[in-house]
Amino acid sequence: MRFIFVLLQMLSVYNLAAQQPGFPVHTGDILNDTDGKPVNAHGAGILKYNGTYYLFGEIKKGTTWLVPGQAWEDYRVPAGGVSCYSSKDLINWKNEGVALASLTGDASNDLDTSKIIERPKVVYNKQTNKFVMWMHVDANDYSYSQAGVAVSDQPEGPYKYLGSVKPNGQMARDMTVYKDEDDKAYLVYASEFNKTMHVCLLSDDYTSPTATYSCITSAINREAPAVFKFQNKYYLITSDCTGWSPNPATYAVADSLLGQWKQMGNPCKGAGAESTFLSQSTFVLPTANKAVFIFMADRWNKTDLPNSRYVWLPLEMVNGQPEIRMPQTKKDQSSNARQSKIYFTSKEKNRVAAGSNYRYHFTAADSAGKNFSYAVKNLPSWLQYDSVKHLLTGKTVKAGQYPVHLVAFNAGIYIVKVYSTDFKMTYTFKIVKL
């Protein structure tokens, strides 16, 4: 297996939160599983259980088609069911198979491929020892608008489908599930043709809605809810309703899930904030750092939905306000370097732990744009040096040794931070699995 060691225009350091070992950052890339195949889990959510993370999402496969007679770009693929992947570090994802399978030939069944199965979320019920999955099930024209529920004895499934319901007689579209610290669980969903957002307390076994619910927004079109908690306050990130096209996210804050919610501004900051970095929210995952979360979103490809990508970014709480930023880059003004590629081969067996240090050096020939040679030293055993080519224009790069620090694994994309003692700058490299 080959790897490419890419110096992206001599990039600067990621956001501080993104530099935590094991912190996954995806900026619209393909996320590969441990078999080297693209992860197929859209509109996803994550359950952490017994030290393992379980990723659940929509299986999108087949030809994308446009539902006729709709007032919006209602692109669809056949409902593929719900996938499950597991990981110990949020970086390397093992395909656990289909958690909830779709079926064909029964248009009256919620799980038929002619239907819609969206935004699955799973929570664990300590009383029943069951894993409970909620999802949005619908017809292709969104006329059905119900919440489906399934259960399993193990996190990866298979899940048994129990049926669907309109909670308290209200339609349910984009949704998420939030389990609070007191083990009460809540269904949060867009309703009333997306003009309101509801929060509904679930039954003790999490398999049905109760009559306790609240309409937390009104007269505004919102969807794609993602809930998290920080310092005893609840936060809800949603998107506008613009079909598959991206739009600015907003967030709301409340002292109680069923209480009064105050609408706030856009949690996204910096370049790309006006489009939520070309993505739409799906989930927010807590981390060991209580002030840092993982904001998970989908970058939809409306005319080729199976080719939709993932955006996972650090969400940092700053003075009680969530801030989501795309990792920033800075061109190296000293070298005018454009791109460097180092090819490696790898057995990919014993991956070195994040935080280990290695050294390498490169030697410049001249400034006429000729190839430059590198000498690579002290690489981990799973990275075997193969060949090197480096094209450079502008100033000559000085020879020397530079400490290399492995910052994070990223499902086949390994982030490496390099400090140049010559240029007094920090560069970011990527080892990208081909």
pLDDT at 327: 77
Q: What is the pLDDT of residues 290-324, one digit of tens each?
A: 999 999 999 999 999 999 999 999 999 999 999 99
Name every residue whose Cβ is closer than 8 Å to that of residue 365 and which is 6 or more positions away in sequence. 371, 372, 373
The most confident of the ranges 41-55, 328-342, 350-364 is 41-55
Examine the pLDDT at 244 and tell me if it is beyond 70. Answer: yes
Please report the domains of the chain, with CATH numbers, ordered by start residue.
26-325 (2.115.10.20), 339-433 (no CATH)
In the 8-state DSSP scheme, what is residue 382? T
Distance CA 150, CA 131 (A): 8
pTM value is 0.74
Residue 19: helix, strand or coil by DSSP? helix
Maximum alpha-carbon separation in the chain: 75
Residue that wins the pLDDT comparison between 205 and 429 = 205
**8 Å CB contact between 164 and 145:** no
For residue 215, what are the CA distances in angstroms to 190, 192, 209? 10, 10, 14
Q: Which residues does residue 7 pair with via DSSP β-bridges, in sequence order?
A: 340, 429
Q: Which amino acid would we find at residue 324?
A: I
Q: Is 155 left (phi over 0), alpha (psi -120 to 50) or beta?
A: alpha
